[in-house]
Amino acid sequence: MTQRSDRPHRALGIDIGGTGIKCAVVDLDDGSLASERFRLDTPHPSTPDAVAKTVADVVSNANYTGPVGVTFPGVVRHGTVQTSANMDSSWRGTSLFDTLSPLLPGPVTTLNDADAAGLAEVRFGAGEGQEGLIVMVTLGTGIGTALIYDGVLVPNAELGHIEVDGHDAESRASASARERRNMTWETWAGKVQKYLRRLENVLWPDLFIIGGGVSKRPDKWFDLIETRTPKVIATLVNNAGIVGAALAADISKKR
Ligand code: BGC
């Protein structure tokens, strides 16, 4: 599809997370934010109705009509949420697409939050220009992962839940696990290293991109981790989900 040159190439990205719901209009030519970034706390309990209301509130600030991308912190297949480790369990089996479409100002595309972050980092961030298999790992409340091969996303890779030493990896190596279990940065880095080594032994990626909230403080832990695979810190940090959601909306518009 040809873009009309007089119209800005933009989409709205909405990032639904366990702690906050954020949105901004994204300039798809360079990944920059073309509006202010708006954020509200995620409601508790984070039921579909409560989240939908908060999404509508946050989007009402943006003064935008056009394609919209929305992330969710769980598996999203054909618009429907399949898993929801860190959101209200009533999301499971609920259509994110049907819940939000009537409230949003344009055609809606839905996807997993880590998948969105991966798309954004590969297009505009730490993975720009890199070929081959990129594995994005977000270390936050949970562990999110995205597999991107030569720019193409393989959606819903739930590699944050592989078993390491008899435990769900997310329960030991996420950023929230470090806080919850009072781990030193060194102890936690050891768990992240073990986790990444498990991933590289089965996937043999060309690059790891490590994101999530902890990517704002890499000096505390990043150099403590040794992997065979080259690894870089995500550069889009807080905005990766928003930018990736907007990119996904644009990709599906062109299909
Ligand atoms: C979920 C993933 C999500 C990740 C980060 C995990 O608990 O299973 O789907 O990407 O958290 O939010």
Is omega for the bond preceding 105 within 30 degrees of 0, making it cis?
A: no
pLDDT, one tens digit per residue, over 54-95 is 999 999 999 999 999 999 999 999 999 999 989 999 999 999
Domain with residue 157: its CATH number is 3.30.420.40
pLDDT at site 2 = 43
The single-letter code of the amino acid at 181 is: R
pLDDT at site 254 = 66
pLDDT, one tens digit per residue, over 190-208 is 999 999 999 999 999 999 9
Beta-bridge partners for 144: 138
176 plus 90 within the same structural domain? no
Confidence of residue 3 (pLDDT cuts 50, 70, 90): very low
248 plus 166 within the same structural domain? no
Is there an atom of ligand 1 within 6 Å of 175 CB?
no
Is there an atom of ligand 1 within 6 Å of 174 CB?
no
Number of domains present in the structure of the chain? 2
Handedness of CA 173, 175, 176, 180 (dihedral sign): positive
pLDDT at site 32 = 97
Confidence of residue 41 (pLDDT cuts 50, 70, 90): very high
pLDDT, one tens digit per residue, over 120-174 is 999 999 999 999 999 999 999 999 999 999 999 999 999 999 999 999 999 999 9
pLDDT, one tens digit per residue, over 200-237 is 999 999 999 999 989 889 999 999 999 999 999 999 98
172 plus 244 within the same structural domain? no
229 plus 243 within the same structural domain? no
Is 222 a domain residue? yes
Is there an atom of ligand 1 within 6 Å of 156 CB?
no
Q: Which ligand 1 atom is nearest residue 115's CA?
A: 10
pLDDT at site 1 = 41
Is 121 a domain residue? no
Query: Would the pLDDT of 6 be above 60?
Result: no
Is 124 a domain residue? no
135 plus 164 within the same structural domain? yes
Token representation of residue 51: 């989240």
Residue nearest to atom 9 of ligand 1 (CA): 74
pLDDT at site 251 = 85
Cα distance between residue 19 and residue 21, in whole Å? 7
Q: Which ligand 1 atom is nearest residue 160's CA?
A: 6
pLDDT above 90 as % of the chain: 92
Is 207 a domain residue? yes
Token representation of residue 184: 């030193």
What is the residue range of 201's domain? 129-235
Cα distances (angstroms) measured from residue 110 to each of 36, 50, 186, 194, 249? 22, 18, 37, 32, 8
Is there an atom of ligand 1 within 6 Å of 84 CB?
no
153 plus 78 within the same structural domain? no
Task: Classify residue 65 as exposed, middle or buried by CB count within 10 Å of its CB (0-12, 13-18, 19+).
Answer: exposed
Helices (H), strands (E): how many in the chain? 7, 14
Is there an atom of ligand 1 within 6 Å of 75 CB?
yes
